[in-house]
Structure formats: structure tokens, C-alpha cells
Structure 1
Amino acid sequence: MLGHLRSARVVALGGGHGLAASLSALRLVCDQVTAIVTVADNGGSSGRLRGDYDVLPPGDLRMALTALCDDSEWGQTWSDVLQHRFTGDGDLSGHALGNLLIVALWQLHEDPVTGLDLVGSLLSARGRVLPMAAVPLDLVAEVSGLDPQDPTATSLVRGQVAVARTQGLVESISLVPDNPPARPESIAAVEAADHIVLGPGSWYTSVLTHLLVPELRDALTRATARKVLTLNLEMHTAETRGFSAARHIETLHALAPDLRFDFVLADPSTIEDHERLERACGRLGAELAVAPLARLDRAGEHDALRLAAAYRDILS
């Protein structure tokens, strides 16, 4: 069965550090991993390049590529080069070199996926990285609790960075444009997948965003692959303040009620109400799988080997 998993086609969806964690684990047990990455980032180097050149934000795409890089000296060296961030007070300050390389390739090649494939070749990446949508997106959240005079009043917060840092409670999210086209390569990867992994990652800004792209959500719903939802190690972030593990699942189910999973993977430290969590998993048609996933030396970070072992057990 492990040999079958090694040759299986696996798709992982998310963004940022959460997706990088799942990719770092999956590449240890699978040879054919495709990452489908959110493209709503509007902060830092990605936000600057997006504004200057009207391109997809490259940062999360870069992180996914480096997470899939080969373990050889060549792969690790180029991974470090792409992750290098310029310091100082000049125009390049704050930019990651990999972001600049990706945008340069996008200017040389009309198709952005071609540029990403070229970076993957440079890294000897163990897989492929694709954007979830064909155009840059803006995340918009309806947030309550920002008005001290009326805590029930809602306000609109626009932009991934603003939503991630909001002091209010996110009630709902949407995208601008509201019906963005998906990349056909991403849809094809989902349709061909043997296994699909969603999460971990910032819940509203990296995980649920994929379900706001109608073509992608429909493809995930139709897919016959075995599907795993990976929960975060930290439940109470700025954008999910007060959320339990079950509440995370409930928000996903509300956004995509027809989407079914086979397993929900959770670290035991995140389970506050086991019965409620199992009920929430049941709404997704999923079995709850509990395994230690955290690094012993850094709270809140997934351990690649532990996560790989959990994926191996579930997917094989």
C-alpha cells in the first residue's frame, strides 16, 4: 500500500506556512504532489509586486515551490536563494528574491503556469505548483464587533492582510471579483487526483478561500479522490478568535454544504469537545483521525515527519 501511495496523485490546497507544512510532509511519502495555492495575498513583497505589475501575488506560490524542492544540495541551495529576502533601505528592501524571479518569468512567458513550472525545474521540485484562480483576488470579510457602541453591527474589511489582523469576529467572506475564473490546470489536477488534502492554514484567508472559486469548489465536490481536511494547531488566531475545532469545520460546511471528506485530521491538543467535533465531522461525512502533529520544540508548528506519518496512515 505504501508503494501505491508513493505513486498516487495527490493535490494539496491552501496557502502560506500552512500549505508549506503539508507539502513538506506529503513529499516525504508521495512523488506526485500538486499544490493549488490561494492568490489573494495583498501584503508585503507580494502586495507591492501585485500593485506594481498587476500580477498574481507570488509569495505563497514561492513558498509552495520551496517546500517541494528536492533534498539534494542543488535543490536546497536554490530553495535558500529563492527564500532570500533583501534588507536595507533600498527599493529591493523586503522583497524575496524568489518573488522577483517569478514575476520576471511571468513577464517573459504569457502563461504564469509556465513560469512556475520553470522555477519548479530549477528547484528539482517534487511536484507542481498552480494558482487557484487565473486573476488576482481581493478577500472581503463581513466583520462584527468593531463598533464599541454596537457590538452586533457589521463592517466590511477588505484585503487578506486586514482580514487576518481584524479585531472583530469574521461573520462571512467573499472574493472580488465574486466569480473568479479558476486555472484549468488546477481543475484538471483535482479531477485526476487520487487523494486531496485541504489545510492547514489561516482558516479564512488561506483555506476557505478555495471554496469561494465556484469552478474549484464544484470540482472538489465532484472529485472521487479520498479527501482529508487538516485542522490547525492553533485554534484562536486573530481571524478565528474563540473558535473551537468543531467551529472551524462548521464554517467550512456552511460555505460548501455539498463538499464531503473522508477524514478530518486533528492534533489531540486542539480537541476541546470531542463529541461536538465528531458531530461536525459527521456533517462532512468524515471520520475523525487524531494524531500528534506538533513540533516538540516550537508550539503551534507542524512537525513534517509526524504529519507525513499521519498522511501515510490515512491515505494508504
Structure 2
Amino acid sequence: MTIHVTGQLPVTTRPRPRSSGTHPYDPSLRVTALGGGHGLYGTLSALRLIAGEITAVVTVADDGGSSGRIRQEMDVLPPGDLRMALSALCDDTDWGTTWRDVMQHRFRSKDGVDGTLDDHALGNLLIVALWELLGDPVAGLRWAGALLGARGQVLPMSTVPLVMSGTILSEESGALRHQVVHGQAALAEAGRNGRVSHIRLEPENAPACPEALEAIELADWVILGPGSWYTSVLPHLMLSEQRDALVNTPARRALVMNLTTETTETTGMNAEDHLEVLRTTAPGLALDVIIADPGSVRDHQSFEEASARLGARVLFSKVGAGSSGAVHDPLRLAVAFQEAFGTS
């Protein structure tokens, strides 16, 4: 790998993967994937097998764990989901797998010691160090990507940290109870006791990342999901500039459904309910295709009807990782993406 410096931003050159019979690689295919956490990690792991130009646009409302501590102490974007996306774009060479493991490594103090580095991921600290040195979150992520040999770029959805809040609906003594919860981590946890509703992002006029808007405009395909529906997927539709970009882009749009509807954020919701929440959050958004594992949808006809209201056809494809629980298999998801991209 060779790193050339142009101005202050690195440009990484590396050999392109050769096409294979199973997963033909298209170096000209431009895909922008939106999400956060493990869901986006799965999407990117699949896309790097088939697409030459990949951009990840990542939520920046996380306030739990290592990211939450860093955000509170240093007034920066939460780096955790950005780190996950960079790690997913590392290739399967010794260089890529080593740096992926380094970025994901978490510190643990010896027994009996409550260390200040406990539970911090090294990648989070590296990203924040680059931000402090360069004074630019996008430039910092590009330098981190160059170090890792990442097969694509990672961008924040906004250049300022966002705060998420929402209402939890629950039943108590036969009456409907409304509880307002602040913070992404608290919102996800509170969903265990009710149904998440009416989520909000603050500041309301937060700016979208200009580079992310450009990536949405120039993509051949834009991918939304999978992931925590209310805290990783829907936030991308709540930032006004980004929502408008998604509605108006000439790119085709795909949605990847979760493998299960029973999560802490979606208690009592079926697959069709997921689509209805998305439709009401962004009324002007049309989709081209929705990828769903057949085992995650109880009523296929009803789901197809709900998809049609978003303008989308449904591609039912086995994309789960078998015995690994509700996790998308990168190889199977790559096959599903190829089918979706090639037939729409």
C-alpha cells in the first residue's frame, strides 16, 4: 500500500480485488450506505466484496459506553460507530485483519484496578487524536482510513454531535403511560418496557455533513439499514438536509430489513409496522427494493403491499448467518445486493 499526501488529506492506492464467479467485483459501482453500529458493519462487510466505491454515512448520536465517555469529556463526535464502519471496510489481508483487530481492541485493567482506559476501544482514541491534530472530523476519518487501508470512506451524518430523545408508550394499570427519555443509550434500554415513539434529534437545525450529501447525490445505489430501527436507521431521515438529499437523489434506493422484529426498540411491531414508521418519518421517500430474509416476515403478502406503498418491490433472500443469531451473513448479503442491483 502506498499513501500519497495531497494537501492535508491522504489518498490510498491498493490493488483492486479480482472478480470471482461467486461475487463479481465492479470497480465502478458507487454505493452509499447509511446506518450505524453492527447493522452498518454487516452492510459494509458485504459491499466491499462487490463494490469499488463505498461511502458509509454514520449516525452521531451515541452517548453510551466508550463513545459516551469520550463525548462527555472531550466535546467531540461519538467515535464508536465511525470506528465500526472503518473496521468493516478493512480487507481480508494480514494488514486489514490486523488493523481491524487493533481498532476494535478494548483495554482491560488487571483484577482489582478500576483503570481510566477500561472499556475504551483503541480505535476510538486514535480517531479522536486525529480530530484534535487536524481540527476536522472528515479529514481525521480519511487519515484513519488510509492507515487501515479501508476500502471506502467513512463520514458522519452531521458535523456536530446529536442528542436523541423519544417517547416510550407503555401500559400501566390499564392506562396508557407516556415517558419522555433523553439520550440514545437510555432510549434503547427504555424500549424494553414499552414502545418507542416520536423520536427527535437535537439540535433541530443541525447541519448535515456536506461530503455525505455529495456521496448520496453521486451514488448509483443508496442503502439504508439494517440496524436498530429508531436509533440507527430512522435518524438518517430526521436530519432535514440529509432527508431532502435522500428524497431527491437520482440514485436508486434499497432498504435492508432486520432479521428479527423483536428488539428492545420495536416491541410489538411486525415487519409492516417498521415500514410504516419509515414512511411517516419521511413521507416523500420512495424506495426501489427492500431486501428481507423470508424467515423474518410472517405475512409475505401484507409485507409486499406495505413495500408497494413505498414504491418498492421485495427481494426475499436468505441473508441470515444461520446459528449466529440475528446477524446478516456478509456473503449472503452480497449475493442479495447483486441480485437487487442487477434486476431493478
TM-score range, shorter chain: over 0.9
2:43 paired residue number: 22
Q: TM-score, normalised by structure 1?
A: 0.97
Which of 297, 300, 304 is matched with 2:326 structurally? Answer: 300
Paired amino acid for 2:119 = G
Paired amino acid for 2:183 = G
Over residues 30-53 of structure 1, what are the superposed CA-to-partner deviations in whole Å (9 max), with x where a residue is unaligned? 011000000000000000000010
- Please state how far the C-alpha of 1:153 moved relative to its aligned partner: 2.8
Paired amino acid for 2:235 = T
1:156 paired residue number: 180
Instruction: For residue 240 of structure 1, give the secondary structure of its aligned residue in structure 2.
Output: coil
Q: Which runs of 5+ in 1 are unaligned?
A: none
Matches of 2:303 and 2:186, distance apart in 1: 29
Matches of 1:297 and 1:143, distance apart in 2: 32
Query: Is residue 71 of structure 2 the alignment partner of residue 62 of structure 1?
Result: no
Alignment RMSD, CA only?
Answer: 1.4
- Please state how far the C-alpha of 1:297 moved relative to its aligned partner: 2.5
Give the structure with the larger strand fraction: 2
Matches of 2:175 and 2:32, distance apart in 1: 40
Matches of 2:24 and 2:325, distance apart in 1: 33
Paired amino acid for 2:298 = E
Matches of 2:235 and 2:197, distance apart in 1: 14
1:101 paired residue number: 126
- Please state how far the C-alpha of 1:75 moved relative to its aligned partner: 1.5
Structure with the larger RCO, 1 or 2 (CA within 8 Å, 6+ apart): 1
Query: Is residue 63 of structure 2 the alignment partner of residue 42 of structure 1?
Result: yes
Which of 84, 87, 92 is matched with 2:108 structurally? Answer: 87
Which of 131, 141, 147 is matched with 2:166 structurally? Answer: 141
Over residues 147-167 of structure 1, what are the superposed CA-to-partner deviations in whole Å (9 max), with x where a residue is unaligned? 624642312111111111111
Matches of 2:102 and 2:220, distance apart in 1: 33
Which of 208, 211, 220 is matched with 1:185 structurally? Answer: 211
Matches of 2:123 and 2:61, distance apart in 1: 18
2:221 paired residue number: 195
Over residues 251-302 of structure 1, what are the superposed CA-to-partner deviations in whole Å (9 max), with x where a residue is unaligned? 0001001001100100011111122211110111000110000012312111
Does structure 1 conserve the Cα–Cα contact (< 8 Å) formed by 2:25 and 2:49? no
Instruction: For residue 115 of structure 2, give the secondary structure of its aligned residue in structure 1.
Output: coil
Paired amino acid for 1:212 = M
Matches of 1:31 and 1:73, distance apart in 2: 20
Larger mean CA deviation between 4-13 and 221-230 belongs to 4-13
Paired amino acid for 1:84 = H
Instruction: For residue 322 of structure 2, give the secondary structure of its aligned residue in structure 1.
Output: coil
Matches of 1:116 and 1:151, distance apart in 2: 48
Instruction: For residue 176 of structure 2, give the secondary structure of its aligned residue in structure 1.
Output: coil
Paired amino acid for 2:154 = V
2:189 paired residue number: 165
Matches of 1:227 and 1:176, distance apart in 2: 26
CA gap 1:5/1:263 in 2 versus in 1, 3 angstroms: farther
Specify the structure having the higher radius of gyration (Cα). Answer: 2
Matches of 1:279 and 1:143, distance apart in 2: 28
Query: Is residue 254 of structure 2 the alignment partner of residue 233 of structure 1?
Result: no
Over residues 169-207 of structure 1, what are the superposed CA-to-partner deviations in whole Å (9 max), with x where a residue is unaligned? 112111111221101000011011111100000000000
Instruction: For residue 31 of structure 1, give the secondary structure of its aligned residue in structure 2.
Output: strand
Q: TM-score, normalised by structure 2?
A: 0.89
Percent identity between matched residues is: 52
Matches of 1:149 and 1:181, distance apart in 2: 43
Does structure 2 conserve the Cα–Cα contact (< 8 Å) formed by 1:236 and 1:242? yes
Paired amino acid for 1:311 = F
Report how many residues are paired.
Answer: 315
Matches of 1:249 and 1:289, distance apart in 2: 15
CA gap 1:173/1:280 in 2 versus in 1, 3 angstroms: same
Does structure 2 conserve the Cα–Cα contact (< 8 Å) formed by 1:144 and 1:151? no
Query: Is residue 173 of structure 2 the alignment partner of residue 126 of structure 1?
Result: no
Does structure 2 conserve the Cα–Cα contact (< 8 Å) formed by 1:249 and 1:281? yes
Which of 29, 33, 49 is matched with 2:54 structurally? Answer: 33
Q: Which runs of 5+ in 2 are unaligned?
A: 1-22
Instruction: For residue 171 of structure 1, give the secondary structure of its aligned residue in structure 2.
Output: strand
Which of 254, 259, 273 is matched with 2:285 structurally? Answer: 259
